A and B are shown apart, each in its own frame.
Chain A
Amino acid sequence: MSEVINHNGKIVADQRPADDIAGQSPLHHADLNSLASQGPQTGGVTIQERPLQGLLNLRCNKADKKQVTAVKKLLGVALPCDPLSSASNDDSVIRWLSPDEWLVSVDGAKAFELEAAFQANMPGHYSLVNVSGGYTILEISGDHAVDVIKKSAPIDVHQSSFPNDKVVSTVFAKSGAIIRRIAEDHFELIIRRSFADYLWIWLQDASREYGLVVKR
């Protein structure tokens, strides 16, 4: 293994190989690129995968001012402490998952760098776990994106109840998803690897009546 850092009795390691070994996202087998180039170009729902992103599960104490300050310094974004909220800048998005749990996304190549930076600078009791291989990110947009979500999840997606940047971890079909609203008709779904095939079939099915466009 290229590099394993042991600090305060915890280890982090770069889990990515050299660039000549291509990673395969959980939807690699679905060949979304071909669907994007050969499938319909207009429709009521557009789905785009953001494969191979860096995903880090952060657990820490929001009441610990040192930790909150450190997180802001490390990520350049304040830790969103309100339930169901998120915060972001150009490099990263932090999603509130539970009172002491957040999901941070960064460029896939930058995950290890960030883990190492946390190792060096994050004070107190916390954990930051690389879960990049365990999920993939889908963006769903279009006039009927809302309808697809309504068919899939028992949550109120009206703007008054689900404004931009809100994050909800909930049941999605018979699996689950972390849903974040990016814009009026634009949502992000973070789904687990092992359920990705099921959810991809589900999403295609739920979008059928509106017309599905797959984007690269």
Chain B
Amino acid sequence: MSQDNRLKSGGRIDRSKPLYFVFNNVSYTGYQGDTLASALLANGVDIVGRSFKYSRPRGIVTAGSDEPNAVIQLGSSEATQTPNVRATQQELFEGLVASSTNGWPNVNVDAMGLVGKIGGKMMPPGFYYKTFMFPQSLWETYETFIRKAAGLGRSSYENDVDTYDKINQFCDVLVVGAGPAGLAAALTAARGGARVIIADEQSEFGGSLLDSKQIIDGKPAAEWVSEVVSELATFADVLLLPRSTVNGYHDQNFLTIHQRCTNHFGDQAPANQVRERMHRVRAKRVILATGAQERPLVFGNNDLPGCMTSTAISTYINRYGVAPGKNLVVMTTNDYGYQAAIDWHDAGREVSAVVDTRANVQGRCVDEMQARGIRIISGSAITEVHGSKRVKAVTIAPINADGSAVAGPAAKWKVDTVASSGGWSPAVHLSCHTGSRPVWKEDIIGFVPGPTVQEQLTAGGINGCYETGAVLKQGIDAGLTALQELGLNEVTVAVPSAEDLSRTPAMPLFLVPHKKPTSRAPKQFVDYQNDVTAAGIELSCREGFQSIEHVKRYTALGFGTDQGKLGNINGMAIAANFQNKTIPETGTTVFRPNYTPITFGAIAGRDVGSLFDPKRYTAMQPWHIAHGAKFEDVGQWKRPWYFPKAGESMHDALNRECKATRESVGILDASTLGKIDIQGKDAREFLGRVYTNAWAKLAVGKCRYGLMCGEDGMVFDDGVTSCLAENHFLMTTTTGGAARVLEWLEIYHQTEWPELEVYFTSVTDHWSTMTISGPNSRALLAELTDCDLSNDSFGFMDWKAATVAGVPARIFRISFTGELSYEINVQANYGLHVWEQLFAKGEKYNLTPYGTETMHILRAEKGFIIVGQDTDGSIHPHDLGMSWAVADNKPFSYIGKRGMAREDCVRPDRKQLVGLKTTDPLVVIPEGSQGVFDPNTPIPMPMVGHVTSSYWSENLGHSIAMAFVKGGLSKMGEKVYYPQADGTVIEAEICSPVFLDPKGDRQNV
């Protein structure tokens, strides 16, 4: 297809670089420098999508991020699918493939269109709420159907092939927007020595100046832009970010910028390059120079392709060399709308007329039109547009002075393009993100930023200032203010000269009257993307949804991916008018981040896939991998879970590991346990205060188990602490509790007991810890150490310094299995060496590596608790039957003492930890099962506690379990029942949780 709408010359495109692209399965050609939208318009593509609810054909309306209709699906392959891309922002590249996000089977013949036409009358606002919510049970069915019909793009079914990342930035001044105000502000700040970031969502800097014929400092505006950009680029501390949307303005001047780094090169980023980057900016000052967006006028059938904003017409002509039609009619309420007629005429196309809603049109506009022989029809409006897939004609009628009614006979004009201008809406969005409400300014007929607590300045169009000279001055002033506030260099910057045109007052008009009442007139669209009409807004008010926030939710005004950039002001003005209120009385909805949709990729950055969460490894990890370990997540640690041999099930592997440990020797990598070095003359006293048990008499060379409680008396950590020397201890904590315990000790030391001389240092990662356990552990260790291992000189709960496999080590004779055990600690750089040496000597003892699951079974056979599994933050030591680990007679109190003495904590019927033996020894009760004393009581049965740990014990030949049972410690031998989801009931007998070797003979040998 040829580019019929492409002008012979002009625009910032490179006609020597044609680009081929596909839209809705049709091939087209555009040029380097085009957006997808400008290329589609050049090729005369009128329909780019179908509307959300009524499925009406829709065309391109604007040339920027405010575009409501040209929201497309991008991607030539499944992996590169990107939904909801605005064609007006997507730069054209060779081989671009895009399609409409809605419209099936295609946008030109749409099955839903018929439904829309028939259903339109029956689908008032609130239709979904009213209809599909009843019966509620069917909502899921409805939803599937509605979503299919609505369709707003889809994500890929495959993994994204591109890389997205995040970067942290700091600056003195962040300038948002690189139009005349932003460039002037940035240049001023940069000259004053500030660290500046200037970001703009467009592919090149310049903003409105890129499609302007203005002269600045005696040169074309675009030339002035390129000079400023060149100068900015010379500053080392200035970061220029084109293609970067400042999407969120958060508290403390923290802003997020979404940079599209390589989206203009192709579907996929070039090798090793990042597709999109999220800048997380902390700025001392923010200068919002975001400009203003043009409001389209609201009139009958104003959504027909061919209806555009007047600035869009100028932009397509001047920036892209595209005149998107043959005959233009302009409707405007203000002087600015005339520019479209001037540009259209000067491009050699026909302007049928400018329809000005104001009765008296004077000044420069009249001269410009007369010079071109363009007719002005004043005091009139286009009340309705005719056509089915493109504008074919318009109805023009005189209107009364306040624009509330048609005042005379209408005439029909044949045109194919309608430009409308309802004036400017300052782009106040970012200023609203931190809670500031915009303020209505009558003289500019628009909202401007309200008072804010942020360090924020504004310049240019966002303030309702639209004349280039004045805008440049505001930019410079904002830059100077920032410099002054930050105490940076004072600079003098001359305001560039620019001709500011005198303008005559605009007319406030938000709904063009029709000879029929709004409810009977052809649809007058306010929010294109959500198919919100003027009639819908009035209906909402009639039905009692009158607050603007209610109107918004009732009609979906401003809910689309465009966040109502075009429609919000018109919509709230229509609601205000209908209720005979002023716009300030009605107020406005406010904006939230993000300004434009952002990809999930940019939000996630590199925190995806293998980098989603850190994986922590011990020094022995390579060995574990080489020996086929299955891993379990314990916090961020990857701990070996079990080590299956070829052909073994998990059950088989666990049985083998358990038996080998009890019969000969097993080994566990326990390096993940938290370890804290504690030094100082008051270390012992400190331990006595944070643990529930006594530490005063723990001798040098001895180890002791301790329970740690919160102030509420509930257990939160446990572990063995060893006395290395009189003033020197090594505390071990649970794997998951390591960081929390260190923090806990520091908090208590720094805030409660700073007088105690004690220091804590984490040594978790410094020591590799391996536990050999089982009757042959002594024989194995003896082969590798110079240490006397005899029971007399190295008893249970002793520790010794010795050499193991040539490496200096600390050996702790402590046990979590109930077997003879040695926990060997060596400096982690030598951990793997010692581990391998143990295996080198271990073969004859059938040294068996085991993981966390076997550890769990072996400790449960001994009734040892695991904090976090057999406790849940509501359990104190007495509940656990561990009163032996509580010393209430210590001279100084300990954390948790008062807590566990509370009335509720001493009830006899508290849930207490007991052992369970199932009546059928082969049945393993599912963990989490709730117990009842009488399974025959009616449902809901009184529940008496749950099973916390439950395993098959190969060593004992029956199942074992630990459970909380109300008053369980005094119910030994009684029955408790566990009803299951399948209706069966498991019967068990309450017993001691110590199933194996209650006297501890095995660990004391």
Q: Which residues in B have their C-beta under 8 angstroms from that of A91? A: none
Q: Whole-angstrom distance from the CB of B795 to the nearest CB of chain A?
A: 19
Cα of A173 to Cα of B768 in the assembled complex, Å? 25
Tell me if A131 and B766 are in contact (CB < 8 A): yes
Partner of A194, one of B166, B616, B724: B616
For A124, the closest partner residue in chain B by CB is B757
Q: Whole-angstrom distance from the CB of B48 to the nearest CB of chain A?
A: 34
Tell me if B280 and A154 are in contact (CB < 8 A): yes
Residue interface mask A7-18, B partner, CB < 8 A = 1 = 011110111111
Q: Which residues in A have their C-beta under 8 angstroms from that of B127? A: none
Q: Whole-angstrom distance from the CB of A214 to the nearest CB of chain B?
A: 16
Q: A59-B759, A132-B827, A206-B606 are in contact. Are A151 and B765 (CB under 8 A)?
A: no
Q: Whole-angstrom distance from the CB of B843 to the nearest CB of chain A?
A: 21
Q: Which residues in B have their C-beta under 8 angstroms from that of A24? A: 619, 829-833
Tell me if A17 and B808 are in contact (CB < 8 A): yes
B30-38, B85-93, B175-183, B673-681: which lies at the interface = B673-681
Partner of A195, one of B167, B168, B614, B681: B614
Tell me if B803 and A158 are in contact (CB < 8 A): no
Interface residues on A, range: 35 or more
Tell me if B614 and A131 are in contact (CB < 8 A): no
Q: A17-B808, A29-B622, A161-B170 are in contact. Are A129 and B613 (CB under 8 A)?
A: no
A67-75, A77-85, A197-205: which lies at the interface = A197-205
Cα of A10 to Cα of B237 in the assembled complex, Å? 52
Tell me if B637 and A194 are in contact (CB < 8 A): yes
Q: Which residues in A have their C-beta under 8 angstroms from that of B489? A: none
Taking Cβ atoms with an 8 Å cutoff, the residues of A that contact B are 1-2, 4, 6, 8-11, 13-18, 20-26, 29, 52, 57, 59, 100, 125-127, 129-135, 147, 150-151, 153-156, 158, 160-161, 173-175, 192-195, 197-199, 201-202, 205-206, 208-209
Q: Whole-angstrom distance from the CB of A158 to the nearest CB of chain B?
A: 7
Tell me if A150 and B765 are in contact (CB < 8 A): no
Q: Whole-angstrom distance from the CB of A165 to the nearest CB of chain B?
A: 20
**Considering the complex, which residues of chain B in the window 234-291 have a beta carbon less than 8 Å from any beta carbon of chain A?**
237, 272-274, 280, 282
Is B559's CB within 8 Å of the partner chain A? no
Cα of A52 to Cα of B829 in the assembled complex, Å? 8
Tell me if B759 and A133 are in contact (CB < 8 A): no
Is B439's CB within 8 Å of the partner chain A? no
Cα of A22 to Cα of B830 in the assembled complex, Å? 8
Residue interface mask B391-419, A partner, CB < 8 A = 1 = 00000000000000000000000000000
**Which 4 A-B pairs rank lowest in CB-CB distance, beginning with the nearest?**
A9-B726, A9-B727, A133-B828, A134-B765
Q: Which residues in B have their C-beta under 8 angstroms from that of A205? A: 606, 611
Q: Whole-angstrom distance from the CB of B870 to the nearest CB of chain A?
A: 26
Q: Whole-angstrom distance from the CB of A149 to the nearest CB of chain B?
A: 9
Tell me if B728 and A10 are in contact (CB < 8 A): yes
**Considering the complex, which residues of chain B in the window 565-613 have a beta carbon less than 8 Å from any beta carbon of chain A?**
606-607, 610-611, 613
Tell me if A4 and B759 are in contact (CB < 8 A): no
Tell me if B681 and A9 are in contact (CB < 8 A): yes
Q: Whole-angstrom distance from the CB of A37 to the nearest CB of chain B?
A: 21
Q: A16-B827, A24-B619, A174-B613 are in contact. Are A1 and B809 (CB under 8 A)?
A: yes
For A162, the closest partner residue in chain B by CB is B170
Interface residues on B, range: 35 or more
**Considering the complex, which residues of chain B in the window 805-830 have a beta carbon less than 8 Å from any beta carbon of chain A?**
806-810, 826-830
Cα of A194 to Cα of B272 in the assembled complex, Å? 28
Partner of A1, one of B195, B273, B282, B803: B803
Tell me if A129 and B677 are in contact (CB < 8 A): yes
Most buried by B among A8, A133, A206: A133
Tell me if A17 and B807 are in contact (CB < 8 A): yes
Most buried by B among A10, A13, A29, A192: A10
Q: A11-B724, A127-B759 are in contact. Are A134 and B617 (CB under 8 A)?
A: no
Is B850's CB within 8 Å of the partner chain A? no
Residue interface mask B416-444, A partner, CB < 8 A = 1 = 00000000000000000000000000000
Q: Whole-angstrom distance from the CB of A185 to the nearest CB of chain B?
A: 14
For B785, the closest partner residue in chain A by CB is A1
Q: Whole-angstrom distance from the CB of B386 to the nearest CB of chain A?
A: 54
Tell me if B619 and A197 are in contact (CB < 8 A): no
Q: Which residues in A have their C-beta under 8 angstroms from that of B762? A: 131, 134
Tell me if B170 and A23 are in contact (CB < 8 A): no
Q: Can you give 6 A-B contacts (C-beta < 8 A)?
A: A24-B619, A151-B165, A174-B613, A174-B614, A193-B765, A194-B637
Q: A151-B167, A174-B614 are in contact. Are A6 and B764 (CB under 8 A)?
A: no
Q: Which residues in B have their C-beta under 8 angstroms from that of A134? A: 762-766, 828
Q: Which residues in B have their C-beta under 8 angstroms from that of A199? A: 614
Q: Whole-angstrom distance from the CB of A178 to the nearest CB of chain B?
A: 13
Is B745's CB within 8 Å of the partner chain A? no
Tell me if B829 and A25 are in contact (CB < 8 A): yes
Q: Which residues in B have their C-beta under 8 angstroms from that of A158? A: 170, 195, 237
For A208, the closest partner residue in chain B by CB is B272
Q: Which residues in B have their C-beta under 8 angstroms from that of A10? A: 679, 724-725, 727-728
For B261, the closest partner residue in chain A by CB is A209
Q: A10-B727, A155-B168 are in contact. Are A127 and B272 (CB under 8 A)?
A: no
Q: Which residues in A have their C-beta under 8 angstroms from that of B727? A: 8-10
Cα of A22 to Cα of B829 in the assembled complex, Å? 8
Cα of A14 to Cα of B681 in the assembled complex, Å? 23
Cα of A17 to Cα of B807 in the assembled complex, Å? 5
Q: A1-B803, A9-B728, A127-B677 are in contact. Are A174 and B165 (CB under 8 A)?
A: no
Q: Which residues in B have their C-beta under 8 angstroms from that of A25? A: 829
Tell me if A13 and B764 are in contact (CB < 8 A): no
Cα of A100 to Cα of B163 in the assembled complex, Å? 42
**Considering the complex, which residues of chain B in the window 608-634 have a beta carbon less than 8 Å from any beta carbon of chain A?**
610-611, 613-619, 621-622
Tell me if B616 and A195 are in contact (CB < 8 A): yes
Partner of A201, one of B195, B272, B607, B611: B611
Cα of A130 to Cα of B606 in the assembled complex, Å? 34
For A98, the closest partner residue in chain B by CB is B746
Q: Which residues in A have their C-beta under 8 angstroms from that of B757? A: 125
Most buried by B among A23, A130, A134, A198: A134
Cα of A15 to Cα of B619 in the assembled complex, Å? 16
Is B525's CB within 8 Å of the partner chain A? no
Q: Which residues in B have their C-beta under 8 angstroms from that of A195? A: 614, 616
Q: Which residues in A have their C-beta under 8 angstroms from that of B146? A: none
Q: Which residues in B have their C-beta under 8 angstroms from that of A175? A: 614
Cα of A95 to Cα of B437 in the assembled complex, Å? 47
Residue interface mask B194-205, A partner, CB < 8 A = 1 = 010000000000
Q: Which residues in A have their C-beta under 8 angstroms from that of B832? A: 24
Partner of B606, one of A15, A127, A202: A202
Cα of A154 to Cα of B254 in the assembled complex, Å? 12
Partner of A127, one of B282, B680, B767, B829: B680
Q: Which residues in A have their C-beta under 8 angstroms from that of B923? A: none
Q: A16-B808, A197-B615 are in contact. Are A130 and B274 (CB under 8 A)?
A: no
